[in-house]
Amino acid sequence: MSLRTTPFHPRTGPLSEGQAWRRWAGYVVASSYELSHEREYHAIRNSAALFDVSPLYKYLVTGRDARRLLDHVVTRNIGKAKVGQVLYTPWCDAAGKQIDDGTISVLDEQTFRMTAADPTLRWLHLNASGLDVSITDVSEKTAALSLQGPSARAILQIAAERDLSALKYFRLTPAHIRGIPVTISRTGYTGDLGYEIWVDSAQAVALWDALIDSGTPYGITPAGMLALDVARIEAGLLLIEVDYFSSRHALIEMQKSSPLELGLGWTVATDKDRYNGKDALDAERRRGPSWQFTGITVDWDSLEQLYADVGLPPRLPSQAWRTSVPIYDPGGRQVGYATSGGWSPLLKQYMALVHLESSSARPGTQVRMEITVEHRRKQATAHVTPLPFFNPERKRA
Amino acid sequence: MASAKRYDAIIIGGGHNGLVTAAYLARAGKQVLVLERRPRVGGAAVTEEIFPGFKFTMFSYVVSLLRPEIIRDLDLPRHGLHILPLESTVTPMENGDYLAAWADHDETRRELYRHSPRDAEAYDEYGHLMHFMARAVKPILSMVPPDPTSFAPGDLLALLKLGKHFRGLGAERLHALVKLMTMSSADFLDEWFETDVLKATKSASGIIGTFLGPRSPGTAYVLLHHYMGELDGVFRAWGFAKGGTGAVSEAIASAARAFGAEVRCNAGVVKVLVKGGKASGVVLENGDELAAATVVSSLDPRRSFLQLLESNQLPDEFVADIKRFKFRGSSGKVNIALDSLPTFTCMPDGGPGGRLHRGAVSISPSLDYVERAYDDAKYGEFSRRPYMDIVFPSMIDPGMAPPGKHVMSIFVQYAPYNLNGGWTDAKREAFGDAVVNTVEGFAPGFKSKILHRQVITPLDIERITGLTEGNIFAGELALQQLFFLRPAPGWAKFATPVRGYYQAGSGTHPGGGIMGASGRLAAMRILKDGL
């Protein structure tokens, strides 16, 4: 049996010029539609890019105790969440180590949609004993598109035939696009102005066509995961199994991280009584996390010199990388590691997402990143840069 | 009226080079004032909404070799610079076929193979050789030209470094470099390729901004420029700037202001004040006098020296050299607002994914075609069938036109500044007709899609931007006017015979395109001289 295609495949399949597909949660999605992802990347920052994000795991949690269940599972305060709100949140095990991260959409007082990177049905059920709640896996039934970029709102307003300027960052609204019922949320994984559109899988293709029609005059560009990967690094957004390991998959303690160590302290509520991992996280917050998740920017002159030493012009990664790369302090002691990195075509900066010992993580601190030049390991100087690297006003405006 | 404030430096001209100089001087903590005659900054790098909703890249239309160090030093991305890829070139042929250079190497190879299997292979070898030579020449762009007649330690050291640099190339590549420096682009390309339309399209890059044809000696070296851009690789300092080239100027101006520079528009300078052989300030069109320790002109050499100064303030031989400096504007520009995209006969579907209109379209179907276009100009006429470099900015940045509509930028050569009988409104329109009719020949129905057209002759370029004779590079990029000869022997290091008066425009080394290198090197020199 082969991997599954998403409900948009009748449209995305023929667009693929190089048959470059990537696996995601048991599905295949485009790495890039064109032979290079470059134009798709620029669409995110210049016009609008359209991503198929259907492979996300999606759960519908309903019932009188739905809110209680989610509030207990995740670190953010779901008890206070208002209808129409979307919350980005991690969830942890009892030791306060992160299992996964995703979003919770408050569709009405007793209806919530949760997205996750890993299967989460069992975890929700385990936490639901004694609660009046129904949990449904709607992963296959619900398809999703992400429309990201400065023109996203203009395009969506035409498609939905309504004004969306009142839809604030991390809010959602039910809407109709050419008669198709959808949910539009002002969310995304690019750090730009953007929306995600949730639809019944049976009507996925018609939704795709409607968005392409409305978006063509605005330069809408179907885009794949390679472009998304660059944008999410610029936005400082972490990726499970790349930037951290789920505590449920970790084989040793060292492989686990807490949200406080992952730069997600802001998502760990201080105003709720009980949730998974609370005691451990409260204690960690009091003593301060040993690790920080932050950014570094590689110094150009240093990079250029390493290549000049072997007679080459500086080389830059043409795609974002996802490997573990050692980070040293100026004295040569390893103080952390990078987990994602790449060149920002917009900022003209070589950036990386790093885990650093807290003592080396202050913005501006000079560090060194290992870089292989002509088969030899070298170190380029870099500076700690607070995340996100790119944070345009339009994201929230 | 004299103002009480005394600046460390006044920069005359708010084009991209003047702004770069200002930003670097301000960054060094200097009190800097930029004076721009027009209502907006940018000079020849401006975006203007000439027709409602349609933004025209009035003159320059692509960013070619904007120096990466400037982008970094001035943090231009934070000030709005976003360079978008402009990846392909399609040349429609007279027989209805086309030649395409796509972004993907394999696709380009297969396309060339269709025309000539031999050229498809030669293309890679040629590219490899050019890569080496571009690397050899590129450091010159960031270097103050040493004077080969000087025995000053600095000059000798620089010459020595340069010599060592070229010796490192090896004999074969050095020979090729000498050929590049002396041959015509047509002859040089003949040694490599047999496909005429390929040679024509490549050679076209060697004639831009010159009053030369593809068969004129000395045009081959400009072929290198393309490869210099490629050396930057993923850095990508070439392409189309979001918002047009005006956005590049705005980004530099914004950076300059952030460093504390003052940028004043509607402030034309008529005169540089000189006291005791030293520049002391400027006089504005409205009569205001402004004082400064250093005055920098980013205008072209003729304006910097023959217009802003009295000739008795300069040595006679220098004045003679500047008078000999050639401008000879040879190009025009036609900007068009389109109801919809034109359909080219050679590629009616716009190519895979509609990519034709996202790249350049080169009207250079054969070497003879381009050389004939030059023939017209040689004898004082505009080309009846000109060479054209066409881009559709709205296909790269949809914000350049209302949704669904388009703008088309047509760079046209040749249009001689010294047209027989001179340029008139009627001649301008006739020139515009020649351009539009030529495009129509390759894209029937094009004319019916035109909503508005703006025709710019070299005389218009001169009138609007002030560039003498409408030369887009502030002085012809011909070999005898480059490096230590730009703009005059002995005066290629940004200083001038007047103490405290510097030059920073494209008429100094290395000049040409939106590079900003002249402006940056000038600032370095000024700071080194102890401003």
A270 touches chain B (CB under 8 A): no
**Shared-domain flag, residues A123 and A198:** no
**Shared-domain flag, residues B248 and B321:** yes
Model pLDDT, residue B512: 78
Which residue in the set B72, B78, B84 is minimally distant from A42, CB to CB? B84
Domain-embedded: residue B394: no
A vs B: CB pairs below 8 A: 66
List the domain range (segments joined by +) for residue B190: 117-194+205-235
Model pLDDT, residue B136: 81
**Shared-domain flag, residues B279 and B220:** no
Model pLDDT, residue B3: 65
B235 touches chain A (CB under 8 A): yes
B109 touches chain A (CB under 8 A): no
Model pLDDT, residue A2: 74
Model pLDDT, residue B152: 83
CA A301 to chain B, closest CA, distance in angstroms equals: 9
Model pLDDT, residue A1: 46
Instruction: Give the confidence band of B263 by pLDDT, cuts at 50, 70, 90.
Output: very high
Is B233 close to A217, i.e. CB distance below 8 A? no
**Chain centre distance of CA B482:** 14
**Shared-domain flag, residues B142 and B219:** yes
**Residue that has been written with the tokens 């003592």 in this structure:** A359
Q: What residue of B is the nearest CA neighbor of A35?
A: B104
Is A34 close to B358, i.e. CB distance below 8 A? no
Domain-embedded: residue A275: no
A316 touches chain B (CB under 8 A): yes
* Set of chain B residues whose Cβ sits within 8 Å of the Cβ of A151: 398
Is residue B303 predicted with pLDDT exceeding 50? yes
CATH number for the domain that contains residue A299: 2.40.30.110
Distance between CA atoms of residues A326 and B104, nearest Å: 33
**Shared-domain flag, residues A200 and A83:** no
Write phi, then psi, for A290 (nearest 5 degrees): -80, -20
Q: For a pLDDT cut of 70, what percent of chain B falls above it?
A: 99
Q: Which of A11, A40, A42, A212 is the best mutation test for B, with the most CBs of B within 10 A?
A: A42
Min mean pLDDT across A202-206, B181-185, B219-223 is at: B219-223
**Shared-domain flag, residues A306 and A345:** yes
Closest by CA position to B10, among listed B267, B250, B248, B249: B267
Beta carbons of B319 and B487 less than 8 angstroms apart: no
How many secondary structure helices (H) and strands (E) does chain A include? 9, 20
Instruction: Give the confidence band of B143 by pLDDT, cuts at 50, 70, 90.
Output: confident
Model pLDDT, residue B11: 98
Is A36 close to B397, i.e. CB distance below 8 A? no
**Shared-domain flag, residues B229 and B250:** no
Model pLDDT, residue B2: 61
Distance between CA atoms of residues A5 and A11, nearest Å: 11
Domain-embedded: residue B85: no
List the domain range (segments joined by +) for residue A197: 4-56+140-223
**Residue that has been written with the tokens 């050499």 in this structure:** B301
Residue pLDDT tens, chain A, 397 long: 477 999 999 999 999 999 999 999 999 999 999 999 999 999 999 999 999 999 999 999 999 999 999 999 999 999 999 999 999 999 999 999 999 999 999 999 999 999 999 999 999 999 999 999 999 999 999 999 999 999 999 999 999 999 999 999 999 999 999 999 999 999 999 999 999 999 999 999 999 999 999 999 999 999 999 999 999 999 999 999 999 999 999 999 999 999 999 999 999 999 998 999 999 999 999 999 999 999 999 999 999 999 999 988 899 999 999 999 999 999 999 999 999 999 999 999 999 999 999 999 999 999 999 999 999 999 999 999 999 999 999 999 8
- Of B180, B215, B235, the one marking the end of a domain is B235
Which residue blocks in A139-188 are alpha helix, DSSP H? 152-160
User: How many structural domains are present in chain A?
Assistant: 3
Is residue B231 predicted with pLDDT exceeding 80? no
Model pLDDT, residue A72: 97
Q: Which two tokens stand for residue A117?
A: 């990177």
Domain-embedded: residue A267: no
- Of A135, A161, A193, the one marking the end of a domain is A135
* Set of chain A residues whose Cβ sits within 8 Å of the Cβ of B103: 35-36, 38
Model pLDDT, residue A69: 98
B104 touches chain A (CB under 8 A): yes
**Shared-domain flag, residues B210 and B307:** no
What is the per-residue DSSP string for A323-351?
S-EEEE-TTS-EEEEEEEEEEETTTTEEE
Q: Is the ipTM of this complex over 0.90?
A: yes
Which residue in the set B87, B103, B235 is minimally distant from A348, CB to CB? B235
Is A300 close to B84, i.e. CB distance below 8 A? no
Mean pLDDT of B225-252: 85
Mean pLDDT of B49-53: 96
Model pLDDT, residue B156: 82
Domain-embedded: residue A124: yes
A318 touches chain B (CB under 8 A): yes
**Shared-domain flag, residues A321 and A351:** yes
Domain-embedded: residue A234: no
Which residue in the set A36, A38, A347 is minimally distant from B77, CB to CB? A347
Which residue blocks in A30-175 are alpha helix, DSSP H? 38-46, 66-73, 121-126, 152-160
Domain-embedded: residue B60: no
Q: What residue of A is the nearest CA neighbor of B68?
A: A348
- Of B235, B255, B284, the one marking the end of a domain is B235
B84 touches chain A (CB under 8 A): yes
Amino acid at A252: I
Is residue B234 predicted with pLDDT exceeding 80? no
Is residue B238 predicted with pLDDT exceeding 60? yes
* Burial tier of A82 (Cβ tally within 10 Å: 0-12, 13-18, 19+): exposed
* Set of chain B residues whose Cβ sits within 8 Å of the Cβ of A316: 233-235
A115 touches chain B (CB under 8 A): no
Is B82 close to A346, i.e. CB distance below 8 A? yes
DSSP B303: I
**Shared-domain flag, residues B222 and B135:** yes
A20 touches chain B (CB under 8 A): no
Beta carbons of B83 and B268 less than 8 angstroms apart: no
CA-based R_g, chain A, Å? 21
- Provide the b/e sequence for A316-341 (b: ≥16 CB within 10 Å): beebbbbeebebbbeeeeebbbbbbb
Domain-embedded: residue A376: yes
Distance between CA atoms of residues A266 and B301, nearest Å: 59
**Shared-domain flag, residues A295 and A349:** yes
- Of A173, A201, A223, the one marking the end of a domain is A223
**Shared-domain flag, residues B228 and B318:** no
Distance between CA atoms of residues B460 and B422, nearest Å: 12
Domain-embedded: residue A171: yes
**Shared-domain flag, residues A83 and A190:** no
Distance between CA atoms of residues A257 and A281, nearest Å: 11
A42 touches chain B (CB under 8 A): yes
Is residue B511 predicted with pLDDT exceeding 50? yes
Model pLDDT, residue B137: 80
Domain-embedded: residue B435: no
**Shared-domain flag, residues B281 and B302:** yes
Write out the H or E segment, with its range, that includes residue B63: none
**Shared-domain flag, residues A87 and A45:** no
Distance between CA atoms of residues A293 and A337, nearest Å: 10
Is residue B154 predicted with pLDDT exceeding 90? no
Amino acid at B231: L
CATH number for the domain that contains residue A196: 3.30.1360.120
Domain-embedded: residue A71: yes
- Of A115, A135, A155, the one marking the end of a domain is A135
Is residue B118 predicted with pLDDT exceeding 50? yes
Is A317 close to B234, i.e. CB distance below 8 A? yes
Is A348 close to B68, i.e. CB distance below 8 A? yes
**Shared-domain flag, residues A79 and A127:** yes
Is B233 close to A343, i.e. CB distance below 8 A? no
A345 touches chain B (CB under 8 A): yes
Domain-embedded: residue A366: yes
CATH number for the domain that contains residue B310: 3.50.50.60
Distance between CA atoms of residues B301 and B505, nearest Å: 8
Is residue B158 predicted with pLDDT exceeding 50? yes
Q: Which two tokens stand for residue B149?
A: 């007649």
Is A46 close to B233, i.e. CB distance below 8 A? no
Distance between CA atoms of residues B222 and B203, nearest Å: 9
pLDDT per position as a tens digit, B357-390: 999 999 999 999 999 999 999 999 999 999 999 9
Model pLDDT, residue A286: 97
Amino acid at A211: L
B77 touches chain A (CB under 8 A): yes
Q: What residue of B is the nearest CA neighbor of A319?
A: B234
Q: Under 8 Å CB-to-CB from B51, ≥6 apart: which residues?
A: B337, B451, B452, B454
Domain-embedded: residue B38: yes
**Shared-domain flag, residues A309 and A339:** yes
User: How many structural domains are present in chain B?
Assistant: 2
Closest by CA position to B225, among listed B211, B207, B241: B207
Model pLDDT, residue A188: 97
In three-state secondary structure terms, A280 is helix
CA-based R_g, chain B, Å? 23
pLDDT per position as a tens digit, B460-495: 999 999 999 999 999 988 888 888 889 998 899 999
